[in-house]
Amino acid sequence: MTIALATAWHPRGELTRFIKQLPYLQNAYSGMAVSMPPEVDEEVVKRLQKLPQVKVVITPDWSWGRYFALQQALEIDCTHVQYADFDRLLRWIETRPQEWQQTLEAIRQQDCLIIGRSAASYQTHPQALIQTEAISNQVVSFLAGQRMDVSAGSKGFSRQAAEYLVANCEPGHALGTDAEWPLVLKRAGFRVSYVTVDGLDWESADRYRQKAADQLSQREAAENYDADPENWAMRVGVAMEIVQMGIRTVGKEINPRKGR
């Protein structure tokens, strides 16, 4: 069974790290669909387009990134698809490669695998994320009927589940997909499973570095993040988007999966 990678990436200095990890990515995935925002640096795009097994798609609007990545991944020969926010995935591969590989094997066994953060991983984040995501996670968990951390930007799907999402969801919901995708699949009759990992610790401290930030740098960056009130306001907006999308999803008509 083969896995394609669907990933949304807003580059913030990670290209060198991407290329360094490329052999591991090529070995793990049958292909990679990378969606990028319309304002992305053309030089980054040109370099990516020259890489084997990499399919680049520029979105008309960045809120379409996750949907476009998933859609394009289905053009790759595969039995399963992992969706991952690229900056998080890159840190995971660099810091805990064995755990990442084990999780890929788990994806192969599931219709839908939501990959959440362990308690230790969660605590590396700024309080602005910890406190607001606690609310959105609690709401989505209630709507799904199972406790999950849905906001770690990493999910695995069987091909049938990914095809169902592309056919029954629409682009433009951005982070609302954290609620929409598992709830749509659960209501359609797909099995939604859950696992936590250590490797999805806070990734934003890695920006414009040559390698993943160490724990001290990560902690200092988190404190600086929390010191800016605008970051708190933004994270409240993100949590609200996820909650609203969850409520909207449980209220809409869902067609049962074929072959149930």
pLDDT in tens, the chain (260 residues): 899 999 999 999 999 999 999 999 999 999 999 999 999 999 999 999 999 999 999 999 999 999 999 999 999 999 999 999 999 999 999 999 999 999 999 999 999 999 999 999 999 999 999 999 999 999 999 999 999 999 999 999 999 999 999 999 989 988 999 999 999 999 999 999 999 999 999 999 999 999 999 999 999 999 999 999 999 999 999 999 999 999 999 998 888 877 54
The strand pair at 192-197 and 112-117 is best described as parallel
Residue 257 forms part of a structural domain: no
Domain count, the chain: 1
**Range of the structural domain that residue 18 is part of:** 3-250
Give the largest Cα separation in the chain, rounded: 52
* Total-model pTM: 0.95
Q: Which two tokens stand for residue 129?
A: 């994320």
Residue 167 forms part of a structural domain: yes
Residue 54 forms part of a structural domain: yes
Residue 35 forms part of a structural domain: yes
Residue 155 forms part of a structural domain: yes
Reference 152, options 206, 85, 242; nearest CA is: 85
CATH of the domain at 71: 3.90.550
Residue 80 forms part of a structural domain: yes
β partners of residue 154 = 84
What does the DSSP 8-state code read for residue 188?
H
Residue keyed to tokens 């708190």: 232
